[in-house]
Amino acid sequence: MKTLEQKKLTFSICRKISQIPPEVWNKLSDPAIFGFNRSFLQALEDSSLYEEDPYYLIFHTNGKDLAGLAVAYTLTMDFSHFDRDHPESVYKVLNQWYPGIMQIKVLECGFLTALGKGFHRSGGEPHTFMTNLTRALEELALDNGADIILVRDVPESAAEQMREMKKRGFLPLRGYPLAVLDLHWGSFEEYYDTLKPGRRKEFRKKLRKLDTYGMEVRLLTRWDHYIPQLLEQWNEVESRSDYHHEKLTAPYFARLQDTPGTDSFILGLFEKEKLLGFSLIHETPEELFCSYVGLDYEYSQSRNSYFILNLKILEEGFRRGKERINLGITSYDFKQLMGCRLIPQTYYVKSWRDPETTRGIQKYLEDSIPRTITSHSSFKEVAYPGTDLEKEASSPSPEPSRPDPFERLYSFSRSHILKFLNLYTFFPEFESAQTPEVFYKGRRILMMGSNSYRGLAARKEVRDAAREAISRYGTGCSGSPLLNGTLDIHQKLAGALAEYTGKEDALLYSTGYQANLGALSTLAKPGVVVLMDERCHASLIDGVLLSRARLIRYKHTDMASLEKKLREHRGSSLLIVTDSLFSMEGTTVPLKKLVSLKEEYHARLMIDESHAIGVIGPRGAGLAAREGLSERIDVLMGTFSKSLAAQGGFIASDNSLIATLKHESRGHIFSASLAPPLIGAVSKALEIIGREEEQRLILIQNTAYMADSLASLGYEVTRSEGAIIPLYCRDELLTFALYRKLFDRGVFVNPVVSPAVPKGSELLRITLMATHTRQEIDKALQVFREVKTDNFPQNEKEKNER
C-alpha cells in the first residue's frame, strides 16, 4: 500500500481483477462509467493481450472510505504509425540507425479493447482525488519507464475535474469521438420510416444484397470455428485504418466466448458457410457497443458488408430494448449516414520522457486523429439529428483559446518531436574557434558546416588585426555612423570593398541581414515591382516586405520564368533581386542572361554575393567580378560573416546611390557602426584573400573532390561552383537523423529544413574551408561510408519509384 502525502489519500494496486475485493468492485463498477463488467475484464486479462498485467488502482480516504478506482496499463506504441509525413523507407533507416527509436512506451489510463473513462471517483473531494490520481499515474510511469502518460476517453462533462491534471502539465487533445445512435424509436421499422426517402431507398438497395447473394447475418455466442477468420478479417480492417492501437489475438476471441458472463456476442455475415465479415458486440443494460469489425475486403464492396453489419446491430439493439447503440470510433462518415451523433472525447497527455515536449506530443497525437468534415442529414425531421459533423470538426479545441498575444509563442511545438526522439540538433555549443577541427563537450569534431570558407576566422594575422584595432580604437563606436560612429578605418574598408567589387563606393552595415534589410527597404518603395528568385535568402525577402513594394517570385535560377514576369510587368518600375551563389543549394545564377534581361526590360538589379565572395572569381571578388559584369549590376551586396571572417555587411554601388543610402537607409543610420575589432579583422581578411589566390583554388578542388566522393558513395549531392555541397535527404526526419549520426561519429554538418528549403528538398549542407586537409576530408568520407544503410542512400531505382 502506498501513501501519498496529499490529504491522506492512499491507493493500493491490484494486478489481477480477481484481487479486487468484490465490495470495491460492486461499488465502483457501474457499467455506465466503465462500460464493462468484471467477466469481460477477466477475459481480457486472461487473453494475454496486455504486455503486462494492468494496474487497478483503488483509492481510499483515511485508509478506509473508498474514494475511487482507476485502471492503467502499459503498451508499446509504434510512433511511426501516427505520423504520415514520412515515407516507410525513412522509418526503416531510422530503425537501422537507432533501433527502437520509434517504439514509445505509453502508460495509459483506460482499457484495452474497450472505450470509456479509465477512472472513477466515488466520493470525497474531486480536487484531492484528481491530484492523487495524477501522482499515482506519474509514479507508475516512473516505475515502468514510460515515455508518455495518456488518459483516454474523458467525456467533456469531466473537463472541470481535469484541472488538476493540467496543473501537472497534462494537455488535453481531441480524441476519437464515439458514434452513438440513440434509439428514439420503438422499433427498427419506425426508425426506417423516419429516414429521408432517398436514404431509405439507398439502404433498401444495399440490404437487398442479402437476397441477391443469399447472405444472412447470424448471431454467434460461440465462435471457436471462426477464430482464424475473425483474426484475419480484423487484421484487414486494422491495417487499413488510422488506428493502430491494439493487436487482437486468438486467445482474445477464445476467452471472450469461454468466460461466462462477458456479455459479448458476434454478428457474422455469412454467404452460405463463408464468413464475409463480423461485428464484435458487448452488451450493457443500456447499450450495445461494437468494439471491433472485421471484413473480408474481397467481398466487402460488392456485398456492402459493413453497411449490413451495422444495420443489423441496430436491429439487434431494438430487439433487446436498448437505449442506444454505440458504434465506437472511426468510419464516422458512414456512421453518420445511419444517423449517429458523435460524442466528443478528450484525451489528456503528458510527455513523461521530457515534459517540455508535451505540447508537441499532444499536437502529434491530435493530428493523427482524422477529422471528419462531411455532414449528412438522414432523417425527414430534424428532431433526430445526427451530430453536425461540421460543427464537431470546427468546434474549438478542448482548451478555449485565450486572447493572449503570446499564445502562439507558448504553443510552439515544432522542435518537440525531435527533442522527444533525441534527434534535436540546433544550437550545439562549441568550445573553440571555427577551425577544421572544433571542440564540443571536450570532443574533437570535424567542422564541415562553417561559412568561414577561407578559414580566416581563426587565423593569427586576422586575430592580431582585430586586437590592434581594439588597442587603438577601443571595443565599440557607441553611435551611429551618421553622427559619432564613423572611424577612419570604416571609410578605408568601404573604399577597399568598392575597389574589390568594382563599384564606385560602398556602405557598411552591422550584419549582412541588416544590409539587405536596410538597403532594400530604401531602394524599393510602394509602386515598385520586385522580381525575386524563389530561393532567395530571407533577408532579401524581409527587406522587400519592409519596403512595401510588390514582391513577385520567379522560379529558381530560371531566366525564362523571370522573363515571363518581366514581360507581364513591362512598364512598371522594376527591380530584380537575387543571390549570385545560393546559400543552401549551392546553385549559381546565369548572370550574363540575367544582366541582358535587366537591360532589355529597363529594370534595376541587385545581387547578393554573400557566398561567392572569397570563393568565386579572381581574388574571390564574386560572380559579378568573374563574369566582368560588375559595372552593369546596379547594387552588389556582401557579408563579413563568411569568407571575411567576422561580422557585418556591405552594399556597393555608384556614388550617388550610396550617398542617398547613407542618409536614408534606416538600417544604416539607426544602428551603431561596426565595432573596431570587426573592421580590423575584415580589412585584414580582405587583404589576405586578395593575395592568396592558391588557397581559393584549393578550396574549390577540395569541394569538388568531396562532392564527387559522396556521389560515388550513393548520396544525392550536387556540384557547386562555391564551397557548398548540398546532400539531399528529402525528408526532415531523415535529415536530422543523419546529422545526428554523423555528429555522434565526429563530423558536423548543417541540417537544412523548411523554410530554409522547400519541403521535400531537405538537405545536409556541407561546407568546406580552405584550411581543411585531404586527410580530414577522407576521414569525414569514411564516416559517410560507415553510416550508409541498406535503405539510405537509396539506389537510383528506388529513388525513381518514389
Of 342 and 508, nearer to ligand PMP (C-beta) is 508
Verify binding: residue 539, ligand PMP, rule CB under 6 A. yes
Stretch that binds ligand PMP, among 335-343, 362-370, 461-469, 512-520 (CB under 6 A): 512-520
Binding-residue total with ligand PMP (CB under 6 A)? 14
Of 586 and 793, nearer to ligand PMP (C-beta) is 586
Is the preceding peptide bond at 228 cis, omega within 30 degrees of 0? Answer: no
CB of 688 to ligand PMP, least distance (A): 19
CB of 451 to ligand PMP, least distance (A): 7
Verify binding: residue 537, ligand PMP, rule CB under 6 A. yes
CB of 763 to ligand PMP, least distance (A): 15
CB of 640 to ligand PMP, least distance (A): 7
Is the preceding peptide bond at 405 cis, omega within 30 degrees of 0? Answer: no
- Exactly one of 138, 283, 608, 732 binds ligand PMP (CB under 6 A); that residue is 608
CB of 749 to ligand PMP, least distance (A): 16
> In the numeric block, which cell numbers belong to residue 770?
580552405
Which of 647, 636, 584, 585 is CA-nearest to residue 613? 636
H-only helix segments in 421-511: 460-473, 488-501
- Exactly one of 61, 511, 547, 771 binds ligand PMP (CB under 6 A); that residue is 511
- Exactly one of 304, 450, 610, 750 binds ligand PMP (CB under 6 A); that residue is 610
Question: Mutual orientation of helices 774-787 and 693-712 as an angle, nearest 10°?
Answer: 20
CB of 771 to ligand PMP, least distance (A): 20
Stretch that binds ligand PMP, among 310-318, 320-328, 507-515, 700-708 (CB under 6 A): 507-515
Task: Give residue for cell 530503425.
Answer: 95
Q: CA-to-CA distance for 418 and 85, rounded, in angstroms?
A: 14
CB of 406 to ligand PMP, least distance (A): 27
621, 624, 629, 634: CA torsion to nearest 10: -110
Q: CA-to-CA distance for 444 and 428, rounded, in angstroms?
A: 14
Phi, psi dihedral angles at 103 (to 5 degrees): -90, 115
CB of 648 to ligand PMP, least distance (A): 7
Stretch that binds ligand PMP, among 174-182, 491-499, 509-517, 774-782 (CB under 6 A): 509-517
Of 183 and 621, nearer to ligand PMP (C-beta) is 621
- Exactly one of 512, 586, 617, 726 binds ligand PMP (CB under 6 A); that residue is 512
Interface characters, 563-592, with ligand PMP (x: CB under 6 A): ----------------x---x---------
> In the numeric block, which cell numbers belong to residue 755?
523554410
> In the numeric block, which cell numbers belong to residue 794?
537509396
4, 7, 19, 120, 202 from 63: Cα distances, Å: 11, 11, 18, 18, 60
Query: What is the chain's alpha carbon radius of gyration, rounded to the nearest angstrom?
Result: 34
CB of 510 to ligand PMP, least distance (A): 9
Interface characters, 467-506, with ligand PMP (x: CB under 6 A): ----------------------------------------
Verify binding: residue 765, ligand PMP, rule CB under 6 A. no
Q: CA-to-CA distance for 299 and 301, rounded, in angstroms?
A: 6
CB of 630 to ligand PMP, least distance (A): 18
Of 511 and 695, nearer to ligand PMP (C-beta) is 511
Closest chain position to ligand PMP (CB): 512
Stretch that binds ligand PMP, among 227-235, 244-252, 426-434, 603-611 (CB under 6 A): 603-611
Q: CA-to-CA distance for 595 and 590, rounded, in angstroms?
A: 9
3-state secondary structure 302-329: HHCHHHHHHHHHHHHHHHCCCCEEECCC
Largest CA distance in the chain: 100
Verify binding: residue 513, ligand PMP, rule CB under 6 A. yes
Of 287 and 608, nearer to ligand PMP (C-beta) is 608
CB of 757 to ligand PMP, least distance (A): 13
Q: CA-to-CA distance for 606 and 623, rounded, in angstroms?
A: 13
Verify binding: residue 557, ligand PMP, rule CB under 6 A. no
Verify binding: residue 310, ligand PMP, rule CB under 6 A. no
> In the numeric block, which cell numbers belong to residue 470?
581594439
Burial of 709 (0-12, 13-18, 19+ CB in 10 A): middle
Quick one: how far is CA 177 from the chain centroid?
24
Is the preceding peptide bond at 793 cis, omega within 30 degrees of 0? Answer: yes
CB-based contacts of 558, cutoff 8 Å, min separation 6: none
CB of 180 to ligand PMP, least distance (A): 56
- Exactly one of 452, 641, 673, 735 binds ligand PMP (CB under 6 A); that residue is 641
CB of 608 to ligand PMP, least distance (A): 5
Q: What is the DSSP letter of 576?
A: E
Of 248 and 519, nearer to ligand PMP (C-beta) is 519
- Exactly one of 351, 516, 588, 735 binds ligand PMP (CB under 6 A); that residue is 516
> In the numeric block, which cell numbers belong to residue 315?
436491429
- Exactly one of 54, 116, 649, 676 binds ligand PMP (CB under 6 A); that residue is 649
- Exactly one of 259, 362, 587, 639 binds ligand PMP (CB under 6 A); that residue is 639
- Please answer whether residues 717 and 501 qualify as being in contact, where contact means their C-beta atoms are separated by less than 8 angstroms: no
Question: CA 133, 138, 139 angle in degrees (round to 5)?
Answer: 95
Within 13 A of 401's CA, how many CA atoms are on the CB side?
A: 11
CB of 650 to ligand PMP, least distance (A): 10
Stretch that binds ligand PMP, among 4-12, 109-117, 511-519, 777-785 (CB under 6 A): 511-519
Q: How many C-beta atoms surround the C-beta of residue 297 within 10 A? A: 14
528, 529, 530, 535: CA torsion to nearest 10: 150
**End-to-end Cα spacing for the chain:** 56
Question: CA 589, 594, 598 angle in degrees (round to 5)?
Answer: 150
- Please answer whether residues 539 and 517 qualify as being in contact, where contact means their C-beta atoms are separated by less than 8 angstroms: yes
CB of 622 to ligand PMP, least distance (A): 12
Of 106 and 615, nearer to ligand PMP (C-beta) is 615
Q: Is 161 helix (H, G, I), strand (E, B) or coil?
A: helix
Stretch that binds ligand PMP, among 293-301, 518-526, 607-615, 770-778 (CB under 6 A): 607-615
Q: CA-to-CA distance for 328 and 344, rounded, in angstroms?
A: 11
Stretch that binds ligand PMP, among 479-487, 508-516, 545-553, 702-710 (CB under 6 A): 508-516
CB of 787 to ligand PMP, least distance (A): 27
Stretch that binds ligand PMP, among 378-386, 608-616, 754-762, 793-801 (CB under 6 A): 608-616
Site residues (vs ligand PMP, CB under 6 A): 511-513, 516, 537, 539, 579, 583, 608, 610-611, 639, 641, 649
